[in-house]
Structure 1
Amino acid sequence: MLSHLRPAIVSSVLFMGLLGLAYPLAVTGVAQAAFPAQANGSLVKDAKGTVIGSSLIAQGFAKPEYLHPRPSAAGNGYDASASSGSNMGPLNDKLIEREKTDAAALRVENPGVAIPADAVTTSASGLDPDVSPANARFQAPRVAKARGVPVGEVLAVIDAHTKAPLLGFIGQPAVNVLAVNRALDARFPKDG
C-alpha cells in the first residue's frame, strides 16, 4: 500500500512547492521589479510620503471645490471592504428614487445643463475612481466658483488629466477624480 501512496505524496509535495511557493514568489518578484507602483496598489502619496489614496479606488469627495466621484453603493459609500453594486434592477423603485434625488440636486448646481449618466449611476464595484469627461466638465463650474477661479482654468486641469482609450479604441476616455483634485489643490490652493 505504501508503494501506491508514495508517488501521490511525492507529487503533492512537489506541486505544492512548485505551484504554491515557487510560482507565486516568481510572479511577485517580476511584478515588483517591472511594475512596482501597480504591484503595491497604485498608492498615491502626498509631499510628506503619507498615503492619501489609490488611483484605482474612488474616495468620497464631497466639498464643492473638488470633483465628486460617481455615486457608490459599496457599504456606506466608497468602502473597499464592501465593494459591490446595489444589485437593484433598472425598474427598482429605490434606485429610481435615489437617481431622481441625485439628479434634482445636480440640477440645482447647474440648471439647464444635461446631467451625464455617470453622475447619477453607480459603477459595478461602487469604487470606480474615474468619471467621464462629460461628468468632470459638468462639475467644473461648481469647482471654479468654490475656488474663485475662472471655469476655463478648471477645464484646463480636467483636460490635462483626461485619459484616452487604451490604444485609442479600447474603452472610453476617463478622468481620474483623485488626480484632478490633487492637481487642483496644487494649482489653486483652497484655504481652510
Structure 2
Amino acid sequence: MKSHLIIAIRLTLVMLVLLAVVYPLVVAGIARFAPGEGKGETITVNGNVVGYANIGQAFTRDDYFQGRPSAVDYNAAGSAGSNKGPSNPDYLKTVQARIDTFLVHNPGILKAQIPSELVTASGSGLDPDISPEAALIQVNRVAKSRNLPENAVKALVEKQTEGPLWGLFGPSKVNVLKLNVALDALK
C-alpha cells in the first residue's frame, strides 16, 4: 500500500511540473512566432489600434461591411453562443428581426440570398470573419453609401479574401475589420 502511495505522489508531482510549468512555457514559446507574438494581431490605423483581427466587432452603418451577429455583443470577456436551438421561438424571432433589418438596408436582395452567417451568431459570439459570398452580397449597399464604383468595392473584397489555410484547411474567408480598414483607405 505504501509503495502505491509513493508512486502516486511521484506521478502527481511529475504531471504537475509537466502540465503546469513545461507545457505552458512551450505554448508561450511557440506563440512568439505567431502574428502579434501571442498577444493577438492588432490592426492599427495611423499608429492607433482600431481592433484585433481575431475578435469580431459591430459595424452597423451602411457604409461599412457587417460581420456576424454576436450573442454577447462582441464582449471578448464573455465569449458564448446564444445556446438557443433552431426551434426556440425567441431564437426564431431574433433571426427574423436580423433578416428584416438586412433586407431593409440591402434592397434588391431576396431573403433566400442572405448567407446564414449574416443573421446567425457564431458559437463564440466573436467570429471576425465572413464568407466571400457574405461580403459580396453587401457590395452594392457599401458602394452606394460611399459613392464608389461597385467594381472597385468588389475588387477590394476579392483582394481581402483569404484562402484556406495552406490551401487545404477550412473555407475562404474575409476578415471584416481588415476589409473595413482597407475600405476607409480607398478614399
- The bucket for the TM-score relative to the shorter chain is 0.7 to 0.9
CA pair 126-15 structure 1, distance change in 2 beyond 3 A:
closer
- 2:81 — aligned with what? 85
CA contact (8 A) 2:56 2:128 kept: yes
2:100 counterpart of 1:101: no
TM-score (normalised: structure 1) = 0.82
Deviates more, 1:85-94 or 1:19-28: 19-28
**How much is the aligned-residue C-alpha RMSD, in angstroms?**
2.5
CA pair 8-172 structure 1, distance change in 2 beyond 3 A:
closer
Separation of aligned partners in 1, 2:50 and 2:107? 33
Separation of aligned partners in 1, 2:104 and 2:23? 55
CA contact (8 A) 2:161 2:173 kept: yes
Shift of 1:22: 4.3
Which deviations, in whole Å up to 9, do the C-alpha atoms of 1:153-187 show, x marking residues without a partner? Answer: 11111110111122434222111000100100111
> What amino acid sits opposite 1:37 in the alignment?
G
- 1:45 — aligned with what? 44
CA contact (8 A) 2:41 2:54 kept: yes
CA pair 16-168 structure 1, distance change in 2 beyond 3 A:
closer
Which deviations, in whole Å up to 9, do the C-alpha atoms of 1:99-127 show, x marking residues without a partner? Answer: 11211222222334221111111111111
Give structure 1 stretches of 5+ with no counterpart: none
- 1:124 — aligned with what? 123
TM-score (normalised: structure 2) = 0.84
Trace 1:32-181 onto structure 2 (pairs within 5 A).
32=32, 34-37=33-36, 39-48=38-47, 50-74=48-72, 77-113=73-109, 114-181=113-180
Separation of aligned partners in 2, 1:14 and 1:95? 48
Aligned residues: 184
Separation of aligned partners in 1, 2:30 and 2:172? 30
Shift of 1:139: 1.1
Shift of 1:36: 5.0
CA pair 15-169 structure 1, distance change in 2 beyond 3 A:
closer
Q: Secondary structure at the match of 1:155?
A: helix
Give structure 2 stretches of 5+ with no counterpart: none
Identity %: 41
Q: Which segments of structure 1 move beyond 4 Å, counting only runs of 4 or more?
A: 3-19
